[in-house]
Amino acid sequence: MYDVEAIRHDFPLLQQNANGRPLAYLDSGASSQKPQAVIEAMNTYYREYNANVHRGIYQISEKASAAYEAARKKVARFINARSWREVIFTRNATESINLVAFSWGLANLKPGDTIITSEMEHHANFVPWQQLAAHTGATVKYIPVTEQGLLDMAAFDQLLDSSVKLVAVTLMSNVLGTIPPAAEIVQKAHAAGALVLFDGAQAVPHMPTDVQALDGDFLVFSGHKMLGPTGIGVLWARKEILADMPPFMTGGDMIKTVRLEGSTWNDLPWKFEAGTPAIAEAIGLGYAVDYLSALGMDNVRQHEIELVSYALERLNQVEGVRIYGPPEPTIRGGAVAFTLGNIHAHDVSAVLDGEGIAVRAGHHCAMPLHERYGLQATTRASFYVYNTPAEIDRLAVGLDKVRELLG
């Protein structure tokens, strides 16, 4: 049984009030809350075995190294990687994308090559490719988004040709909630000779993710959106691709030998982890993976489908609300972006905050998508493992209050 009330008790922050009311935290798409198990695991590291990894031949350093590498293996199992050596720790999904852009991209792209992404991407899956194109002479092209918030796959077919070397798309839109047809994208991209990068920052925390079944070439995601701490992210890539990529950053720990004449690189995955890593954060991410695995990602996904289904029904009853993205809960994730008449999203969010409801307001790092719909900003409620239908009811009542005050 998925007992959301029991789950909520595992999250200390959710026990507090906001503006005199119980906090309804509806902004997990930006950053999730942390269960006590994650908080305590990081505290234990700092209290009991705080030492650098891969360096010390003494007890607490060896314990820290073992815990750090155990976290990597947990992540590898969580996404069903073929090998733990395919899991690279970074600061976040953004750094993971930049790693691919400036390591694989600079080594492989040239004038006349094409990168395809889409109009619904987070800026982190736009700007690195634009910069890479500026460095290499390649071109970036974009899959359009339909009025219903789906990728225009007929347009994707038209964009695919022999010049395309990389297709980089989200597995779940952080604004529309859209879940693109990943299998179709991979099949068509690979048939055209292109590699595929998936931005899994929204998807990996919310639904089962199997990189072998996805059959893509790169996957990126962030710890802080999946019950883990900030400052830790993941790049997964096929081992044979990583082996051929030059280091992204250089310095300590990513080397095998250093001489005056030159240097050689460490084995995977450490070749891409220069300097002292985020040790406590990696350990925290490992415990977050443990927590999600215990819940069961199929259960997490089903819980969110039920929440989104209820949210679409309930919010559509509020006069003036327009929801963006697919109407079918089964092809969208836990993010629901909307407008309320002509009231600015920042004003909507401010009034809701007074009611103890935390939502996101703005362009959500997706300005091209908002321009596609002729919008400056939207309000976004995003749900996760600890949210309840009662919080959605509070949101709807709060929106009625916004309309009464400002409409």
* 8 Å CB contact between 295 and 207: no
Rg (CA), the chain: 22
d(CA 109, CA 190): 17
User: What is the DSSP secondary structure assignment for residue 384, as one 8-state letter?
Assistant: -
The domains found in the chain, sorted by start residue, are: 4-27+296-406 (3.90.1150.10), 49-293 (3.40.640.10)
Which tokens sit at 143? 């899959």
Distance of alpha carbon 404 from the chain centroid: 36
* 8 Å CB contact between 82 and 239: yes
d(CA 327, CA 362): 22
On the question of pLDDT at 66 being above 80, the answer is: yes
d(CA 33, CA 283): 16
The residue type of 110 is: K
Query: Across the chain, what does the average pLDDT equal?
Result: 97
Please give the average per-residue pLDDT across 42-69, as a whole number: 97
Q: What's the N-to-C CA distance of the chain in angstroms?
A: 42
Active site residues: 365
Could you tell me how many helices (H) and strands (E) the chain has, helices first?
15, 17
CA torsion 91-94-95-98 (nearest 10°) is: 180
* 8 Å CB contact between 120 and 175: yes
Which tokens sit at 40? 């305590």
Which tokens sit at 249? 């950053």
d(CA 136, CA 120): 24
Tens digits of per-residue pLDDT, 239-294? 999 999 999 999 999 999 999 999 999 999 999 999 999 999 999 999 999 999 99
Tens digits of per-residue pLDDT, 367-384? 999 999 999 999 999 999
Tens digits of per-residue pLDDT, 177-231? 999 999 999 999 999 999 999 999 999 999 999 999 999 999 999 999 999 999 9
* 8 Å CB contact between 191 and 221: no
